[in-house]
Amino acid sequence: MPGAVPPGRSLPAYARDLIRMHDAVIAGGRPPLRPRDIVSRSWERVIGLGLKADGLNARDWLSEDELARRRENSPLRDAVGDLKQVLGAMPHVLLVVTDADGVILWREGTPGVRRRADDLGFFEGAEWTEERVGTNAIGTALAEAAPVELLAGEHFEQNQHPWYCTASPVHDPRTGDLLGVIDVSGPALTLHPAIGALVDTGRRLAEAQIWRWHQRRLDRLRQVGEPLLATGPALLVDDHGWVAAGAGVSVGDRIAAPSAGEPIAVPGLGACLPERLAEGWLIRPAGPDRRVTLDLDLTHTPLLTLQGGDAGWRRKVTRRHAEILVLLHRAGPAGLSAEALSRALYGDAEHVVTVRAEISRLRRLLGALVDTRPYRLAEGVRMTVR
Q: What is the pLDDT of residues 232-261, one digit of tens each?
A: 788 999 999 999 999 888 888 899 899 888
The answer to whether residue 98 scores a pLDDT higher than 90 is yes
pLDDT attached to residue 210: 94
User: Long-range contacts of range 19-25, CB-CB < 8 Å, 24 or more positions apart?
Assistant: 19/152, 19/153, 19/161, 20/153, 21/153, 22/53, 22/153, 22/154, 22/155, 22/156, 22/158, 22/161, 23/153
Q: What pLDDT does 368 receive?
A: 82
* Contact between residue 386 and residue 350 where contact means Cβ atoms under 8 Å apart: no
Residue 239: per-residue pLDDT: 93
Is pLDDT at 290 greater than 70 in this prediction? no
Helices (H), the chain: 11-27, 37-48, 64-73, 80-87, 111-120, 130-133, 137-144, 195-225, 319-331, 338-346, 352-366
High-pLDDT (> 70) share of the chain, %: 98
- On whether the CB atoms of residues 324 and 341 are closer than 8 A, the answer is yes
- Give the closest residue to 147 by CA, choosing from 177, 172, 169, 171: 169
Query: Residue 315 pLDDT > 70, yes or no?
Result: yes
pLDDT over 70 at 177, yes or no: yes
Least confident of 57-61, 108-112, 181-185, 228-232: 228-232
Q: What's the mean pLDDT in 76-83? A: 92
Peptide bond into 374 cis (omega under 30): yes
CB 73 within 8 A of CB 65: no
Average of pLDDT values for 54-61?
86
- Residue 60: pLDDT over 90: no
What whole-number distance in Å separates Cα of residue 250 and Cα of residue 378? 12
pTM score, whole prediction: 0.82
Other beta carbons within 10 Å of 301: 11
Whether the pLDDT of residue 309 is over 70: the answer is no
Predicted confidence at residue 332, as pLDDT, reads 94
Does residue 335 have a pLDDT over 80? yes
